[in-house]
Chains A and B, each alone.
Chain A
Amino acid sequence: MEKCAVVEIEKVFFAYDGETVLEDVNLTICEKDFIWIVGPNGGGKTTLVKLILGLLTPSGGAVRVFEKSPQQARSKIGYMPQHAHLDQRFPVSVSDVVLMGRLGEGRRYGPFSKKDRQVAYEVLEEVGLNEFADRHFASLSGGQQRRLLIARALASQPQLLILDEPTANLDLLVVRELYELLHKLNSQFTIVMVSHDPAFVSQAVKNVVCVNRKVAVHPTTAVGDEVLSELYHGHVRMVRHGHSAAEKE
């Protein structure tokens, strides 16, 4: 029996400066699901994620995460924000970045504990970056930096992973590697991923959520088309986009 209480969004509305961003959103996310949130820029993808994280409060309706309010459930959420806003010149090492995922877990005052460091080491190993622990953040490649931010999200020992644009500005082969990692992690975690790039859907994704003011959910189905697989260097799944929400501007 599948448990579907990871995220429950009911009749949610959200307006920003009087302008409706999300309208009558209903969405249920079940355990071990892998959701891809797609949609045009300004369509409300990031808003939807911020509602789940409790960084924004809906103008109407209810958001429940693990049957609690998003704020109460935050400690069970591993979050990877957009990569673009990070300052590449910030003096921070790989292990420092991962340790930030331990905030709110261990003791509040003073340096991180031995346990925090142990967890940080384990998650770095999980994403294959343990040998880079002492390197400067900026010395990592774009793909490695994304892995690092995923590791930081894992360091919170979450049950739900939320990733905002994890693949932006990466080349296709690196993207594929990243999906392999996410596919592996999906056996332990529920994953919600945002991307404005709907060019192809990795085989790891189980459900696609289209957001453009309204929200529609589509299960993915395997595509037999070899040409398409060739094009994207790997297995692709197809989404049947037969709904009206996406066309409505």
Chain B
Amino acid sequence: MEFIDAVFNHTFMLYALLTGVLASIACGVVGTYVVARRITYIAGGIAHSVLGGMGLAYYLKVVQGLSWLQPLHGAVVAALASAVTIALASIYLKEREDTVIGAIWAIGMAVGIIFIAKTPGYSENLMSYLFGNILMVTRGDLWLIAALDAFVVIVGYLFHKQIAAVCFDEEFARVRGVRVQLFYLLLLCLTALTVVILTTVVGIVMVIAFLTLPVAVAGYFTRKLWQTMVLATLLSIFFMTFGLALSYSPDLPAGATIIILAGLTYLIVSVIKALRKI
């Protein structure tokens, strides 16, 4: 009840709730591709590289006086740059893709930590980037997230059949004249944008969990990719909203509460499914 009052009385709670719903849409759509194609490791690499972009943007804003620049802008640029680098690496250095991902993962973090250390101000910022702080979402962030969301959904709708085919059977798609490398790059860019959106909610460290858990639960009940997407989105909205509500009164970190809720649900559903098989 206290939570519902808060939503009506405090804009930050309303923004938090809206962020959760918007993030869930991208999470359901792109998370389904990521899980189906088994590229969670790539999503992890992109997520951690985001810290570099956020740190740099934060440094430029505070120290160099670029007041219009937001950490989220840096995050978008860093995530897309990482996605393009990883895609190029997988096309041209096939066998060393994992090395490249590992390097991007660690270098991104290192760059971010250095810039944050060199920026005067609260070190709390680092914590909120790493573990998310949905209560700090601003109106500007919300618009940017909505725009990214719209982009992800529109591209997903227009090219779903190509992306799905590339994920399921790349060689066949190539023979059918699908530009496989282009769509792989597109998929990684969509992943990058989704990672950025989710970072605002659950933070860099927990992004992978949230990208995969709703999809994993949905996967137990669906047979088609688009069904998985819809159910994963609904589950994600539930986890975000309910997690936010649960965390409010005892003043728990919202991102962590949301993750634990999603993780527990996944655990329970998989145990029930496993028991039924016996």
Binding site for B on A (CB under 8 A): 53, 55, 74-75, 77, 79, 81, 85-87, 90-93, 96-97, 99-101, 103-104, 109-112, 134-136, 152, 156
Let me know if A100 and B223 touch, CB within 8 A: no
Shortest beta-carbon distance from A230 to chain B in Å:
38
Q: A53-B175, A81-B169, A90-B167 are in contact. Are A103 and B162 (CB under 8 A)?
A: yes
Binding site for A on B (CB under 8 A): 32, 36, 38, 157-162, 164-165, 167-169, 171-178, 219, 222-225, 227-228
Shortest beta-carbon distance from A210 to chain B in Å:
24
Q: A91-B223, A103-B165 are in contact. Are A74 and B177 (CB under 8 A)?
A: yes
Quick one: closest A residue to B171, CB to CB?
A81
- Contact residue among A53, A100, A111, A135 (Cβ-Cβ distance under 8 Å from B168): A100
- For A55, what are the chain B residues with a Cβ–Cβ distance below 8 Å? 171, 174-175
Q: Is the interface of B mostly helix, strand, loop or mixed?
A: helix
When chains A and B are docked, how far (Å) is the Cα of A103 from the Cα of B159?
Answer: 11
Let me know if B223 and A93 touch, CB within 8 A: yes
When chains A and B are docked, how far (Å) is the Cα of A81 from the Cα of B32?
Answer: 24
When chains A and B are docked, how far (Å) is the Cα of A157 from the Cα of B98?
Answer: 39
Q: Is the interface of A mostly helix, strand, loop or mixed?
A: loop
When chains A and B are docked, how far (Å) is the Cα of A93 from the Cα of B164?
Answer: 12
Let me know if B168 and A81 touch, CB within 8 A: no
Q: List 22 A-B contacts (CB under 8 A).
A: A74-B175, A86-B169, A87-B36, A87-B168, A90-B36, A91-B32, A91-B222, A91-B227, A92-B168, A92-B225, A93-B223, A100-B164, A100-B169, A103-B165, A103-B178, A104-B178, A109-B158, A109-B159, A111-B160, A111-B161, A112-B161, A156-B176
Quick one: closest A residue to B229, CB to CB?
A91
Let me know if B177 and A134 touch, CB within 8 A: no
Shortest beta-carbon distance from B44 to chain A in Å:
20
Shortest beta-carbon distance from B143 to chain A in Å:
27
Shortest beta-carbon distance from B103 to chain A in Å:
26
Let me know if B172 and A100 touch, CB within 8 A: yes
- Contact residue among B157, B172, B175, B224 (Cβ-Cβ distance under 8 Å from A91): B224
Let me know if A103 and B224 touch, CB within 8 A: no
- For B157, what are the chain A residues with a Cβ–Cβ distance below 8 Å? 110-111
- For A110, what are the chain B residues with a Cβ–Cβ distance below 8 Å? 157-158
Quick one: closest B residue to A55, CB to CB?
B174
- For B162, what are the chain A residues with a Cβ–Cβ distance below 8 Å? 103
Quick one: closest B residue to A134, CB to CB?
B223
Let me know if A96 and B224 touch, CB within 8 A: yes
Let me know if A93 and B176 touch, CB within 8 A: no
When chains A and B are docked, how far (Å) is the Cα of A103 from the Cα of B174?
Answer: 10
When chains A and B are docked, how far (Å) is the Cα of A154 from the Cα of B25?
Answer: 36
Let me know if B168 and A90 touch, CB within 8 A: yes
Q: A86-B168, A86-B169 are in contact. Are A96 and B225 (CB under 8 A)?
A: yes
- For A101, what are the chain B residues with a Cβ–Cβ distance below 8 Å? 176
When chains A and B are docked, how far (Å) is the Cα of A110 from the Cα of B161?
Answer: 8
Let me know if B36 and A79 touch, CB within 8 A: no
- For B168, what are the chain A residues with a Cβ–Cβ distance below 8 Å? 86-87, 90, 92, 97, 100
Let me know if B36 and A91 touch, CB within 8 A: yes
Shortest beta-carbon distance from A130 to chain B in Å:
17
- For A135, what are the chain B residues with a Cβ–Cβ distance below 8 Å? 223
Let me know if B225 and A91 touch, CB within 8 A: yes
Shortest beta-carbon distance from A92 to chain B in Å:
6
